[in-house]
Amino acid sequence: MHDYGFPGGPRINFRPVFFHALLGVDRLTGSALGFSASQNGFAGAFGGGVQWKVGPHWAVRASGDYVFTCHNIFGGPRVTQHNFRASAGVVFMFGARGPTGTPEQRAAGTSVQIAATSEAALLGVAGYASDNGFTVTSVRGGSPAAQGGIKAGDIISKIDGKQVHSSLDIEAAIAANASGTVKVRLFSSGHVADRAGHQGALIERGALATGGRPSYDFAR
């Protein structure tokens, strides 16, 4: 006698615990006294288990299920068979990823998001929007940001007191400056340290009301 089940259904994860409800078809094939027969019947499995991640792509899993099948391969009313199934094994996970970003970025609760990276050319930084501001991924050499000591992993939170999250926010805040001094507020690894340095800008900013070269006041 051979029994093959083909169930499917949703799985709900509350890592490391999971639950599932599977319904499908069970094919039973048997033979006796020179006669053979096959039958497809209704089947289901309800249960869950636990899965522990032990590496970037590997995990161990243990699960238990209540399983039922409905058959009567040799005629007559169908009979429901009730079973309990327990299993354990090793799982390989496709596409699993480990932590990304530098240790400073992970400490600040951020990760590198290459697809969302954009550049704030006036300040000389590239990065991406995050909950706390604009997270820097690279700094252009010789730029105001480089002179101010901004480095990858820093978070620019405010320009002239205005909250910024994107490169467009930074560009707009610098363009709106009319005093000639752009004040930049930074977070480094999730901490704010007061340190200000007056830096001359190396770029022309046509939108500046004074028409001259702006200076930058950096505070950490």
Domains of the chain: 2-92 (no CATH), 103-219 (2.30.42.10)
pLDDT at 195: 34
How much is the pTM?
0.40
Among the listed residues 174, 173, 162, the one whose alpha carbon sits nearest the alpha carbon of residue 215: 174
pLDDT at 101: 54
pLDDT at 163: 92
Question: Residues in the chain, how many?
Answer: 220
Cα distance from N-terminal residue to C-terminal residue, the chain: 74
Among the listed residues 62, 60, 129, the one whose alpha carbon sits nearest the alpha carbon of residue 93: 60
For residue 141, give every residue at least 6 positions away whose Cβ sits within 8 Å of its Cβ, in sequence order, or none.
none
> Is residue 108 a contact partner of residue 115, using CB atoms and an 8 Å limit?
no
**Rounded average pLDDT per 10-residue block, the chain, 220 residues:** 83 89 86 78 91 88 91 76 90 66 52 62 89 90 87 90 90 87 79 38 30 59
Q: Count the helix, strand and coil residues of the chain and give each as a percent rounded to the nearest 5.
A: 10, 55, 40
pLDDT at 104: 53
